[in-house]
Amino acid sequence: MIEVRDLEKRYGDVLAVKGVSLSVGRGEIVGLLGHNGAGKSTVMKVITGFLEPSSGSVSVGGIDVVENRIAVQKQIGYLPENAPVYPEMLVQEYLLMMAELRGIPVGERAAAVGRAVAATGLQAWLVRPIATLSKGYRQRVGLAQAILHEPEVLILDEPTNGLDPVQIAEIRMLIKRLAASSTVVLSTHILSEIEAVCDRVVIMIDGELAADAKLSDLLHSDRVRVSLPADTAGVEDTLAAVEDVHDVHAVGADPSRSGYQLWSLQCSSSEPPTPDIVRAAVAAGWDVAAVALESQSLEEVFRSLIEQRAAAEAAATSQAAEASEAAV
Ligand code: ATP
């Protein structure tokens, strides 16, 4: 549905997006994750045709955004980072105006507004000035304008930014509902947002794509945790002897069971040999409290990507320094 190929976007001297390629299928909910300034908004602005790429291409539903921006925008509902709502207007007035700007024929506007209002739960707020709404409800108005023309694709830039926890939960639920009939790309720097809403995550660091994977694959771990009495002897040797297991080490007291110690086992196969581990522990006569796959959090994945990148940059810098020393 969305194809981004080798996208670069430059603002003067700043290369904000560096060679990003991305393919989003119909019906997917993709989270674009990254620190402030990582380039998320820029990618979204190019997809929605609000900015032209410096190089590379973007198409939506097979239509190139540079060649036919209007046709692309007809397929997209866009909620920019700061929802463009006019505070002095009534909710209904604003949505009718947006329906007109969207090119919805006059006879269909009231029905389009009615549908968007029902989908976003704004029925009771239609004749309120937007300025008097809470931030969460203003965000709903922003979402309502984005779905007026029943777009196939929704691009939502930090849709829960600045909201309180209750409003965040409501907007996330709303996005999941809207995703039932649309392809959704949303950006955020909140890791839990991705876990709560998305099935796929694309991580951007300094304008580059650092990861693109299904959430379940990204969080999948090849480590197993075993809980054993703290005085169990010979754990490393016994468990490291299990096929596919290496690097067995203690990770501290088991917080869920007093007197027990947690061990972490690195496994080399993509399906850790949990039954063999259980058998080895039982054969050794140990009192095993738990054996479980260790899942990594998105935060750990994100941190490790940043560390890998920093290490690669440091290695490249020292290589360059060595090369220039050798040249002297
Ligand atoms: P945030 O989460 O803070 O919105 P982001 O990941 O969306 O960040 P972008 O807004 O896309 O990041 O910005 C990427 C880089 O491009 C940043 O270094 C930013 O300062 C720069 N940038 C963005 N817009 C402009 C502009 N109009 N002119 C110059 N530089 C810009």
pLDDT exceeds 80 at position 37? yes
- Give the integer Cα–Cα distance in Å for 306 and 16: 17
* Same domain flag for 60 and 175: yes
Which tens digits make up the pLDDT trace of 241-277? 999 998 899 989 999 899 999 999 988 877 888 999 9
Q: Which residues pair with 129 in a beta bridge?
A: 90
Cβ atoms 90, 130 nearer than 8 A: yes
- The pLDDT score that the predictor gives to residue 296 is 72
Task: Give the mean model confidence (pLDDT) for residues 134-150.
Answer: 89
- The pLDDT score that the predictor gives to residue 77 is 92
Q: Say yes or no: CB of residue 40 within 6 Å of ligand 1.
A: yes
Phi, psi of 189 (to 5 degrees): -115, 15
- The pLDDT score that the predictor gives to residue 309 is 81
* Same domain flag for 285 and 160: no
Cβ atoms 285, 227 nearer than 8 A: no
* Same domain flag for 129 and 273: no
pLDDT exceeds 80 at position 220? no
* Same domain flag for 203 and 232: no
pLDDT exceeds 80 at position 183? yes
pLDDT exceeds 80 at position 219? no
Q: Say yes or no: CB of residue 167 within 6 Å of ligand 1.
A: no
In one-letter notation, the amino acid at residue 72 is: V
Q: What is the mean pLDDT of the chain?
A: 90
- The pLDDT score that the predictor gives to residue 326 is 78
Q: Determine, yes or no, domain membership for 298.
A: no
Q: Which residue has the higher pLDDT, 84 or 112?
A: 112
Q: Which of 201, 218, 235 is the last residue of a domain?
A: 218
Of 23-27, 31-35, 183-187, 320-324, the one with minimum mean pLDDT is 320-324
What lies within 8 Å, CB to CB, of 54 at 6+ separation is: 8, 9, 10
- Give the integer Cα–Cα distance in Å for 18 and 222: 31
Phi-psi map region of 25: left, alpha, beta (phi>0 left; psi -120 to 50 alpha): beta
Task: Give the mean model confidence (pLDDT) for residues 206-214.
Answer: 89
* Same domain flag for 118 and 229: no
Ligand 1 geometric centre to CA of 157 (Å): 12
Q: Determine, yes or no, domain membership for 300.
A: no
Q: Determine, yes or no, domain membership for 148.
A: yes
Residue 38 is part of which domain span?
2-218
Q: Determine, yes or no, domain membership for 318.
A: no
Cβ atoms 122, 91 nearer than 8 A: yes
- The pLDDT score that the predictor gives to residue 75 is 92
Indicate the pLDDT class of residue 9, thresholds 50, 70 and 90.
Answer: very high
* Same domain flag for 11 and 106: yes
Instruction: Tell how strand 290-294 and strand 223-229 pair up.
Output: antiparallel
Sign of the CA dihedral running 161, 166, 167, 169: positive
Continuous segment of H or E residues that includes residue 228: strand 223-229
pLDDT exceeds 80 at position 214? yes
Ligand 1 geometric centre to CA of 81 (Å): 11
- Give the integer Cα–Cα distance in Å for 94 and 55: 36
Q: Which of 152, 186, 218 is the last residue of a domain?
A: 218
- The pLDDT score that the predictor gives to residue 261 is 95
Let me know the angle formed at the C-alpha of 251 by 249 and 254, rounded to the nearest 5 degrees: 130
Which tens digits make up the pLDDT trace of 68-105? 999 999 999 999 987 777 889 999 999 999 999 989 99
pLDDT exceeds 80 at position 327? no
- The pLDDT score that the predictor gives to residue 195 is 84
- Give the integer Cα–Cα distance in Å for 133 and 282: 62
- Give the integer Cα–Cα distance in Å for 6 and 43: 11
Task: Give the mean model confidence (pLDDT) for residues 134-151.
Answer: 89
- The pLDDT score that the predictor gives to residue 293 is 84
User: CATH number for the domain including 62?
Assistant: 3.40.50.300
User: CATH number for the domain including 279?
Assistant: 3.30.70.260
What lies within 8 Å, CB to CB, of 49 at 6+ separation is: 65, 69, 72, 73, 76
Look at the block and give the residue holding tokens 């297991």.
245
* Same domain flag for 43 and 125: yes
Q: At what angle do helices 106-120 and 135-147 cross, to 10 degrees?
A: 140
Residue nearest to atom 25 of ligand 1 (CA): 11
Sign of the CA dihedral running 292, 298, 301, 304: negative
Of 64-78, 98-112, 187-201, 221-235, the one with minimum mean pLDDT is 187-201
Between the alpha carbon of residue 79 and those of residues 41, 97, 131, 156, 304, the distances in Å are 11, 16, 18, 5, 31
Q: Say yes or no: CB of residue 39 within 6 Å of ligand 1.
A: yes
Q: Which residue has the higher pLDDT, 140 or 304?
A: 140
* Same domain flag for 231 and 248: yes
How many independent structural domains does the chain possess? 2
Helical H runs in 188-297?
Answer: 191-197, 215-219, 235-240, 274-283
Ligand 1 geometric centre to CA of 284 (Å): 58
Which atom of ligand 1 is closest in space to residue 12's alpha carbon? 29
